[in-house]
């Protein structure tokens, strides 16, 4: 990567500069809303859902939220990773680009770097585990990259990277743990802020200060009724730290979300312990979030003035949120993209926080749908247990979710 001494500092101004650099190479992804999901998020959970949780027997939270979705699944290569890869290459010198670039990745970063390099006529070497999804291998090769296969462990990948680097002199472009990557990912935060501000102003003008749930929610004293909070998924932390950097000082709260079954919530545990967790071994259906938070992203995420909190959600909650996005919004996403919505719908810690701080005014909550790189076959396998038993797929929603969704037009 670019010498850290040449990197821009992790500030909002640097994200704005990064945005200027990558705008010709990435999509301005749309922001959309969904009345059904905003109503569902503003409806108390059934007491039955809270059985066997720390909230059993307590009053379910009654937050008021208006949801806005930043659709990075419509980004080039189908995920937000295109932003960081393009910014990273824009910061390399001509001589460095002539050497080519290299990374190891089994998915979205592989495709993102391959495309960014192709646009600039730069040779890209992508080390991919042999167990990588065939469609992702094909897409990476389709962008002209030299795909070299390796074992699945980080040690096996890094060994092959070192071998190819020695042969080619290529520059390593990591997927998240570098300032240039973080600043590139943060550009979605700038767009999200501006897009929602424009949307809420238009809603006020066109609908006489009423919209979606009967009102445009906004925190007390907030100017222009834009976003009050943003939630992004957290794996390596490049996106979360980038968005937090972009929105720092704006008054918009930034939260992270990650899986939490069987110890996959390394960020939550690290924040609780006051130190970064360096490895995660447990698998999750949110395959893009299996990586521990990187060293540089951790410096941002562990700063409470930049990231308010990080929350965990279960595998079943992720599946339910993913199902709702596909059925109610008609938007195709991968499991990792569903953790933010799952937090708003099901995490009582977050929901009680919104109820307490936003009150009757409520919050405009932005959710990043980080990517859509999955397949129909993979989705079918995700839900096939229910199909085999012949039971209706309800997940953690139960009758409450069905009733609310049926009574509100999507």
- Is 81 designated active site? yes
Dist CA 180 CA 173 (whole Å): 10
**Distances 297 to 66, 181, 250, 380 between C-alpha atoms, Å:** 28, 10, 20, 34
Q: Are 81 and 186 in contact, with CB atoms under 8 Å apart?
A: no
Give SS3 for 125: strand
81, 136, 306, 319: the active-site residue: 81
Exposed, middle or buried: residue 398 (CB in 10 Å: 0-12, 13-18, 19+)?
middle
For 161-183, b/e burial (b = at least 16 CB within 10 A) is: beebbeeeebbebbbbbbbbbbb
User: DSSP code of 26?
Assistant: S
Dist CA 300 CA 11 (whole Å): 10
Give the containing element (helix H, strand E) for 70: strand 65-71
- Is 106 designated active site? yes
Give the containing element (helix H, strand E) for 36: helix 35-41
Tokens of 40: 């569902």
Dist CA 307 CA 244 (whole Å): 6
Exposed, middle or buried: residue 24 (CB in 10 Å: 0-12, 13-18, 19+)?
exposed
Number of CB atoms found within 10 A of residue 387's CB: 10
14, 38, 105, 106: the active-site residue: 106
Give the containing element (helix H, strand E) for 267: helix 266-273
Residues classed as catalytic: 81, 106
């Amino acid at each position: 990567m670019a010498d850290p001494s040449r990197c821009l500092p992790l500030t909002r101004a640097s994200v704005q500069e990064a945005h200027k650099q990558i705008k010709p190479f990435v999509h301005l992804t749309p922001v959309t809303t969904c009345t059904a999901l905003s109503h569902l998020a503003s409806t108390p959970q059934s007491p039955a859902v809270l059985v066997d949780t720390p909230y059993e027997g307590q009053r379910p939270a009654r937050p008021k939220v208006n949801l806005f979705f930043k659709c990075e699944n419509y980004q080039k290569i189908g995920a937000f990773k295109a932003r960081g890869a393009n910014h990273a290459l824009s910061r390399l010198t001509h001589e460095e680009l002539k050497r080519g670039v290299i990374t190891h990745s089994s998915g979205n970063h592989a495709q993102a770097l391959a495309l960014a390099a192709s646009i600039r006529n730069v040779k890209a070497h992508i080390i991919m585990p042999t167990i990588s999804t065939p469609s992702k291998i094909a897409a990476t090769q389709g962008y002209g990259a030299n795909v070299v296969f390796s074992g699945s462990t980080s040690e096996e990948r890094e060994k092959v990277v070192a071998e190819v680097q020695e042969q080619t002199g290529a520059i390593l472009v990591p997927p998240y743990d570098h300032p240039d990557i973080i600043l590139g990912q943060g550009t979605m935060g700038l767009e999200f802020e501006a897009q929602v501000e424009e949307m809420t102003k238009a809603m006020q003008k066109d609908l006489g200060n009423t919209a979606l749930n009967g009102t445009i929610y906004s925190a007390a004293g907030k100017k222009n009724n834009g976003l009050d909070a943003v939630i992004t998924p957290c794996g390596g932390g490049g996106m979360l730290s980038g968005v937090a950097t972009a929105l720092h000082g704006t008054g918009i709260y930034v939260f992270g979300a990650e899986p939490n079954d069987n110890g996959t919530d390394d960020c939550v545990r690290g924040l609780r312990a006051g130190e970064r967790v360096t490895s995660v071994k447990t698998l999750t259906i949110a395959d893009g979030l299996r990586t521990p938070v990187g060293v540089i992203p951790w410096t941002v995420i562990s700063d409470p003035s930049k990231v308010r909190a990080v929350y965990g959600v279960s595998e079943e909650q992720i599946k339910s949120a993913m199902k709702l996005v596909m059925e109610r919004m008609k938007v195709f996403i991968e499991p990792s993209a569903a953790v933010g919505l799952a937090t708003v719908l099901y995490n009582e810690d977050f929901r009680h926080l919104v109820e307490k701080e936003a009150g009757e005014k409520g919050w405009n909550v932005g959710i990043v749908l980080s990517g859509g790189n999955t397949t129909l076959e993979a989705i079918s396998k995700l839900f096939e247990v229910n199909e085999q038993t012949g039971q209706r797929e309800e997940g953690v929603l139960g009758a409450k979710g069905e009733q609310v969704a049926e009574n509100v037009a999507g």
